[in-house]
Structure 1
Amino acid sequence: MSTPYSQHPSMWRNNFFGFLLACLLVPVGVGIIILLYWYLKCKSTKLEINGSEVVLEQGLLSKERTELSVSSIRTVKITQSFFNRIFGVGTVSIFTAGDTPEIQAAGLPEPEVFRDLIKANQASAAQ
């Protein structure tokens, strides 16, 4: 079974001006270090839906993995600034029982698709 949603945070779309500044600093040498660190940070975070579970994996050498059952999700909150909306990215916060999010991932492309998939999985599980 293929994964309907599996995304890493977007690098340049999440913080366009930071990306532009880092690119301008490449000739100085500092920009390369910033871009490399940023790239590794983005690639070491992944949010995906595996059937009836939502999984957030973080880390490059050591891993932290958070799994939530779709049926236990109470709220999916999407936060987008003006520029996030222009570039199609956002911060996804997933709440189960408390007031603090169980999972929070910033800079994810197409956060509305993620929310719609959660709703669809919850509707199919309820039937």
Structure 2
Amino acid sequence: MKELYAEHPAMFKNNPLGFILAVLLIPVAVGVLILLWWYLQTKSSKLTVFENEILFEKGLLSKERSEVNISIVRTVRVKQSFFNRIFGVGTVSIYTAGDNPEIVAKGMPDPNRIRELIKMGQNGA
């Protein structure tokens, strides 16, 4: 199975003002705790797109994995605020059936590329 995309959510690009605030709070030691917590949160989530399936993993000590076959994906929604568009990140929601998304990956780098990869996988299936 060929891996087409594998990324963790972006830290700085996803919330640049929060990052700057955390850096400014480093002298009070609170900033270090905020940055450490934030870093662990971003590294605990990973979205991987293969040729035939999508895998979303979440968690450090306990893991939650969601796998979706690309052929059953009905909708891929990309949501980006103004700042998200500037920094090239966004939220990707993947729907198979019904009104609730199977996978919601926030702060993903290059979200439109993810959407295109899924569409290409559907055309190849």
Smaller-chain TM-score range? over 0.9
Tell me, yes or no, if structure 1 residue 74 matches structure 2 residue 74: yes
Query: So what's the TM-score if we normalise by structure 2?
Result: 0.98
AA aligned opposite 1:15: N
Q: Which amino acid aligns with 1:14?
A: N
Instruction: Render the CA deviation track for 1:55-114: whole Å, top value 9, x for unaligned.
Output: 000000110000000011000000000000000000000011011111001100000110
Give the C-alpha shift of residue 25 in structure 1: 0.4
For 1:112 and 1:50, how far apart are their aligned partners in 2?
Answer: 16
Q: What residue in structure 1 maps to residue 17 of structure 2?
A: 17
Q: Secondary structure at the match of 2:65?
A: strand
Identity of aligned residues (%): 58
Q: How does 1:17-96 map to 2 (within 5 A)?
A: 17-96=17-96
Moved beyond 3 Å, runs of 4+: none
Unaligned segments of structure 2, at least 5 residues: none
Question: What do residues 35-61 of structure 1 show as CA deviations (whole Å, max 9, x unaligned)?
Answer: 000000000100011220100000001
How much is the aligned-residue C-alpha RMSD, in angstroms? 0.8
TM-score (norm 1): 0.96
Gaps of 5+ in 1: none
Letter of the 1:31 counterpart: G
